[in-house]
C-alpha cells in the first residue's frame, strides 16, 4: 500500500510506499516533481509485509503520523509511527460536517492557497471512501503551510454544489466547518466572505505562457472579467456570469476570443459589476 501526506508541513505532498516483503520507502517531495528517498528511519527499517498505510494526526500536535498495516498469511503486528520532526513549518487542519451532502462529506474538495517562501501555492485535497490499497486515511484535511502565517483562501466545494470560501485564515488551527454559511467551529480570525470588491494583480507578471487573475466579491453579483489591448479593444472575455460572494481565480493563456496567441505587450484586464469596476495592467512576453 501507499499513502500521500505532507509529513514535514512544507506544502508539498510526500509519499510512503509499503512493500509486501521488502523494505518500505519514504520519499520526501523536494518540489518541481523531484523526490528523495529518506534513509535510516524506523519507518523504512522496520521489516514486515506492509499491506496498507494511512496518515493521521493522532496526537493532535499539528503534524501527521503514520499507521502501517502489516501481515498476510502469518499475522504480524501493525505499526504506528509518531512524527517527531518538530518542524517549524505551520499547518491548518480541517474537518467537514456534511448537511445537504453526506455526513462525512465524501466527494468534497478543499482548496487552500497560501504564500509559501514568497510564492503563491495552491493545494487540493478530496474526501474519498478509500485512499489506498487496504487503506483509508482520516477524513480530516491536512495542509502544510510552510512559513505562511495564514491561508489567503480556503474554498470548500461540497458534493451538493454548495461552495464556501474563507479568507485570511490564520495557521495553526483545527477547524470544523459545517455545510452552511454560519457554523465554523474553532476559527480564530479569518473572514467567511470578503468585505469588499477587489481585483488583484495577476501572477506571474510578466508572464508566459499563462497567468492567474484573482478577484473577490462581497455579494452575489453579475460579473464580467475582460482583457483589452492598449487601443481599448476587448480581446477576450474570461468571465461573464452571475457569481456568489467569494474569492475567485481565472487562468489566462494569452489567447484572444478566437484562440489565437496574442503578441507580446501590455494589456489591461478589467473587472466589472453593476456596483464596481477596476482595471489593472499585465505584461505578456513571447
Mean pLDDT by 10 residues, the chain (286 residues): 92 91 88 90 74 90 91 76 91 90 90 94 90 76 95 88 82 85 50 78 92 87 94 93 80 91 97 95 95
Whether 50 contacts 24, CB under 8 Å: yes
> How far apart are alpha carbons 261 and 248 in whole angstroms?
24
The enclosing H or E element of 199 equals strand 198-199
Output the DSSP codes for 239-284: EEEEE-SEEEEEEE-SB-TTSPBPPSEEEEEEEEETTEEEEEEEEE
pLDDT at residue 183, as a whole number: 44
CB-based burial of residue 203 (10 Å sphere; 0-12 exposed, 13-18 middle, 19+ buried)? middle
CA pair distance 84, 62, nearest whole angstrom = 11
Which residues lie below 8 Å from residue 86, measured CB to CB, with a gap of 6+? none
pLDDT at 214: 87
**Which sequence spans correspond to the domains of the chain?**
2-81, 90-185, 198-284
CATH number for 198-284: choose from 3.90.1150.10, 3.30.1330.60, 2.60.40.4070, 3.30.1330.10: 2.60.40.4070
Determine if the pTM surpasses 0.75. no
Which CATH architecture fits 90-185?
A: Sandwich (2.60)
Question: In angstroms, rounded to a whole number, what is the distance separating the alpha carbons of residues 227 and 199?
Answer: 13
Same fold, 90-185 and 198-284: yes
Strand-pairing partners, residue 125, are 110
Amino acid at each position: 500500500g501507499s499513502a500521500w501526506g505532507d509529513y514535514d508541513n512544507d506544502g508539498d505532498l510526500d509519499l510512503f510506499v509499503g512493500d509486501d516483503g521488502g523494505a518500505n520507502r519514504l520519499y520526501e517531495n523536494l518540489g518541481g516533481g523531484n523526490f528523495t528517498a529518506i534513509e535510516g528511519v524506523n519507518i523504512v527499517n522496520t521489516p514486515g509485509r506492509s499491506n496498507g498505510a494511512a496518515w493521521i494526526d493522532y496526537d493532535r500536535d499539528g503534524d501527521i503520523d503514520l499507521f502501517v498495516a502489516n501481515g498476510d498469511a502469518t499475522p504480524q503486528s501493525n505499526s504506528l509511527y509518531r512524527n517527531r520532526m518538530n518542524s517549524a513549518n505551520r499547518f491548518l487542519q480541517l474537518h467537514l460536517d456534511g448537511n445537504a451532502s453526506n455526513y462525512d462529506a465524501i466527494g468534497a474538495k478543499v482548496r487552500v492557497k497560501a504564500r509559501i517562501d514568497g510564492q503563491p501555492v495552491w493545494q487540493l485535497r478530496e474526501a474519498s471512501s478509500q485512499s489506498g490499497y487496504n487503506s483509508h486515511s482520516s477524513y480530516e484535511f491536512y495542509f502544510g503551510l510552510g512559513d505562511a502565517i495564514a491561508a489567503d483562501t480556503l474554498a470548500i466545494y461540497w458534493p451538493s454544489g454548495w461552495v464556501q470560501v474563507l479568507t485570511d485564515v490564520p495557521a495553526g488551527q483545527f477547524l470544523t466547518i459545517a455545510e452552511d454559511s454560519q457554523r465554523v467551529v474553532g476559527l480564530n480570525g479569518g473572514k467567511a466572505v470578503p468585505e469588499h470588491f477587489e481585483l488583484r494583480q495577476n501572477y506571474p507578471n510578466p508572464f508566459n505562457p499563462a497567468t492567474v487573475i484573482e478577484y473577490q466579491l462581497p455579494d452575489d453579483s453579475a460579473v464580467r472579467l475582460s482583457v483589452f489591448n492598449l487601443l481599448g479593444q476587448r480581446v477576450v472575455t474570461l468571465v461573464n456570469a452571475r457569481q456568489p460572494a467569494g474569492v475567485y481565480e481565472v487562468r489566462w493563456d494569452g489567447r484572444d476570443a478566437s484562440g489565437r496567441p496574442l503578441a507580446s505587450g501590455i494589456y489591461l484586464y478589467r473587472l466589472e459589476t453593476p456596483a464596481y469596476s477596476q482595471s489593472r495592467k499585465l505584461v505578456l512576453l513571447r
